[in-house]
């Protein structure tokens, strides 16, 4: 249902797609736990005000607690085209995050198989390679800033698994700041931002790049 009280922050818009900046703590889709009050509800109201279809067609996925860039297709053909780019990993995605601990190297990567946790079905976990119902996940990273006992990283995803960055860094003893689900220090806001999206325009094929400023550390309580 359309909910005009949910603000939609538009970064870019044309006849084919909209790039939005999602705040943290806002679910993208309605679920059993969040039947309303989601970005989809706000988008529907915003689109109807413009006399357009309220159908919400996000191309990339963002967790409820993650902030940042989300691209939404305005029609089915655009959604199919952009989703195909996502499937073959030609959409470049970068996330900014703050994790516990220091890194000797300025860049590196984490790769592992991820699947549902056997002890908590709401959580994901690193699993042995080849185990059934698991998927390979790769995250490259580089150090943006060293913050004493914390480090700000830019993470580039080659795969887009559920909770990928959160699980992989927690498994390496570098849990994300504020992540009570996979770390022990919950501060209310997980330091994870969808900071950069690059894809080919669905009509012209021109490269499109959208980037948010590296966040000030203050909102992330470090």
Helix locations, the chain, DSSP H: 39-49, 76-87, 164-171
The closest of 210, 103, 220, 113 to 171, measured between CA atoms, is 113
Radius of gyration from C-alpha coordinates of the chain? 18
Catalytic residue chosen out of the listed positions 63, 75, 76, 216: 63
- Measured in degrees and rounded to the nearest 5, phi and psi for residue 167 equal -70, -45
- Measured in degrees and rounded to the nearest 5, phi and psi for residue 133 equal 60, 30
Cβ neighbours for 15, distance < 8 A, ≥ 6 positions apart: 74, 203
Contact status, residue 119 vs residue 127, Cβ threshold 8 Å = no
Q: Is residue 63 annotated as part of the catalytic site, yes or no?
A: yes
Q: Copy the structure tokens of residue 118.
A: 């056997």
Distance CA 213, CA 77 (A): 31
Contact status, residue 60 vs residue 197, Cβ threshold 8 Å = yes
Provide the annotated active-site residues. 63
């Amino acid at each position: 249902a359309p909910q005009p009280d949910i603000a939609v922050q538009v970064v870019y818009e044309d006849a084919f797609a909209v790039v939005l900046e999602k705040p943290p703590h806002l679910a993208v889709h309605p679920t059993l736990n969040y039947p309303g009050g989601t970005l989809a509800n706000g988008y529907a109201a915003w689109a109807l005000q413009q006399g357009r279809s309220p159908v919400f067609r996000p191309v990339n996925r963002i967790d409820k607690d993650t902030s940042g860039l989300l691209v939404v297709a305005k029609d089915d053909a655009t959604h199919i085209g952009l989703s195909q780019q996502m499937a073959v990993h030609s959409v470049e995605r970068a996330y900014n995050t703050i994790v516990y601990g220091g890194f000797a190297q300025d860049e590196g990567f984490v790769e592992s198989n991820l699947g549902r946790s056997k002890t908590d079905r709401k959580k994901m976990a690193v699993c042995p390679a080849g185990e059934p119902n698991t998927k390979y996940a790769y995250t490259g990273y580089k150090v943006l800033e060293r913050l004493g006992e914390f480090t700000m990283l830019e993470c580039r995803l080659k795969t887009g698994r559920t909770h990928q960055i959160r699980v992989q860094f927690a498994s390496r003893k570098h849990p994300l700041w504020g992540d009570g689900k996979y770390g022990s220090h919950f501060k209310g806001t997980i330091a994870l931002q969808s900071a950069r999206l690059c894809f080919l325009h669905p009509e012209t094929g021109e490269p499109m790049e959208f980037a948010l400023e590296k966040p000030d550390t203050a909102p992330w309580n470090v």
